[in-house]
Structure 1
């Protein structure tokens, strides 16, 4: 069986994701699609809208064969480490190819860009630092440095969010000396950060979430942009838990954590650099909501995304020391299996003897430094629920076996 990997968040799964899946199958002739999916918290420093188990069901019913979790240590990191973790997992599961969406749509451009950057790394680093000194955030400084060095008509435009991730996927394949082949599919109709609907059936996850939180009739307004299965599971999750996860639900926890912390304690938290922790402490007392807090601490130098990631690490108490191993060797040490179709199970049975990383189906008896961060993330993600619901959901988190889906009969087994 030929397996192909995709790297996803599905927050939530929408028609654009379905298009990507279908095109991936056509473009690669895949027998098995493996999705590496972020868990409780996401790359932009946000809590996932619904649980990873609910998003796993959305994926399986849409045609994914195996869903594994991208550990917290990678899922809440900058693009480079995010990509390294995901690519290492796809390689470990013996996938032949990885297929990602991009604004470019041409894989040769990514290969050329990776080669160009390798040959100009010293100059790129120099210009990046020069732009940072001028007060730009690192992502903006990096984009400007790249534009200074290259002809953006010849290479990939690294100011685009999906191109940035795609570049790091291809770079990770080279850095890890993986046998993976990369392919890309051009994003259509809706941009990654688009906040408004501009197409009759394709919308960004950002615009879907914004609508979901802004209108009493939001479920009706987003129906055209979601597969039926996604709508079903979103409604089910809300009816059961009476909420969708967003930062405002966690603001009281963040405020409490900041109010009892000293500047020196916060300086040990991952992504707390250049004294930014002092800015957080200055404004937290007078802030009345997470949105209000972010508007106060946001500067030209610190992107909204980076500040959100820092806030996540403060909530989970993730320190620089804890993530030091990832920065030194950015590859996964285990595979957390969340769900699989019968086809996916057949593939796992075929390759499991070749897979060198431990495959974790339950977390109750597994010990690993990085896995401990996943446990802390789960505790944090579920802390907003009242008892006994919180304790019940926490038991499910690591005592529940992987979800098994019979795709032929369209039911869970």
Structure 2
């Protein structure tokens, strides 16, 4: 059986995701699709709208055949680490190809750009240092350094978020010596950060979440598959809420106000000088948005600071992540279809990493971080719902959709 891999968050699964998935299967001529999906906290430093189990069910009902969890130590990270973890999982699970969405849509541009940057590596690094000295953030310095290279305009536009991730996927495939063939599908109609609906059927996840949280709760039915809409309604009925940063603000504020500057310096992604700014802002802010506005600077991007906030919320220390390998150490199975189960039965003996279907059967460091993240994600739910979510982490077998 031939498998195509996709790297996703599905926050939530929408029509654009469905289009990408169908094109991935068609282009790869695959029998099944395997998704590596972030858990309860995401790459941009945000809590997922609904839990990983609900998003797994969305994925399986909309055409994915196997869902593996991307561990917290890769999921809440900059693009390079995120990509390395995800690529290692897809490689270990026997995917013949990896298909990602991009603004560019031409896979040859990614390979050519990688070659171009290897040839100009020293000049790029010198440019980055020069721009960082002007006080801009690292991503901004990287973009400016790239644009400053001779002939860079001929290559990939690395100011676009999906192009950036796609480039890191290509780089990870080559760095890891993966056998996977990279493929890309051009994004349709909506840009990644669009906050407003851009077409009649395709909208960004950002604009869909904005509509969900709007005062008038705008109808999203035309932008998501029916299964997604039903699962979102079920989640709201069961838990009484969708997860967002303001929900976690009291807990983040408490963590900050009971911490010393030294405590905060030990948190992953914290840099010296930030700790006093964080504490001062926590004393004054009444909401998470107000807090972020107070700590935002030209040097630190909103995303970078949100990821730091997740690590503070989960009390994740540098010593827990700094020396983590750039490759996963296990495959945690969240769900499968009948075709996915057949693939696992046929191929799992060839997997290069252990297959984990219950957390009780594995005690690795990465998995312990995921368990802790789930506990924090459940904070603030009513007692019965919180208990159910915490039990689910240990007792839920992989979801099976026939």
> Which position in structure 1 is the counterpart of 2:124?
124
DSSP 3-state at the match of 1:24: helix
Using the TM superposition, give the Cα deviation of residue 170 of structure 1 relative to its aligned residue in structure 2, in angstroms: 0.1
> Which position in structure 1 is the counterpart of 2:31?
31
TM norm structure 2: 0.99
> Which position in structure 2 is the counterpart of 1:80?
80
> Which position in structure 1 is the counterpart of 2:371?
375
TM norm structure 1: 0.96
1:159-238 correspondence to structure 2 within 5 Å: 159-218=159-218, 221-238=219-236
* CA distances 1:186-215 after superposition (whole Å, capped 9, x unpaired): 111000000011111100000000111013
DSSP 3-state at the match of 2:69: strand
* Aligned-partner Cα distance in 2 for 1:266–1:311: 11
* Aligned-partner Cα distance in 1 for 2:211–2:194: 12
* Aligned-partner Cα distance in 2 for 1:151–1:212: 43
* Contact 1:68/1:338 (<8 A) preserved: yes
Q: Which of 297, 302, 305 matches 1:304? A: 302
> Which position in structure 1 is the counterpart of 2:101?
101
* Aligned-partner Cα distance in 2 for 1:333–1:238: 34
Change (3 A) 1:24 1:365: same
Indicate the RMSD between aligned Cα atoms, in angstroms: 0.9
Gaps of 5+ in 2: none
DSSP 3-state at the match of 1:99: strand
Runs of 4+ in 1 over 4 A off after TM superposition: none
* Aligned-partner Cα distance in 2 for 1:274–1:127: 24
Using the TM superposition, give the Cα deviation of residue 277 of structure 1 relative to its aligned residue in structure 2, in angstroms: 1.8
* Contact 2:147/2:153 (<8 A) preserved: no
DSSP 3-state at the match of 1:149: coil
1:46-65 correspondence to structure 2 within 5 Å: 46-65=46-65
> Which position in structure 2 is the counterpart of 1:248?
246
In the alignment, structure 1 residue 399 sits paired with structure 2 residue 398: no
DSSP 3-state at the match of 1:352: helix
* Aligned-partner Cα distance in 2 for 1:286–1:185: 45
* CA distances 1:3-52 after superposition (whole Å, capped 9, x unpaired): 01000000000000000011111111110100000001000000000011
Using the TM superposition, give the Cα deviation of residue 153 of structure 1 relative to its aligned residue in structure 2, in angstroms: 3.7
> Which position in structure 2 is the counterpart of 1:410?
none
* Aligned-partner Cα distance in 2 for 1:217–1:370: 37
Change (3 A) 1:372 1:324: same
* Contact 1:201/1:225 (<8 A) preserved: yes
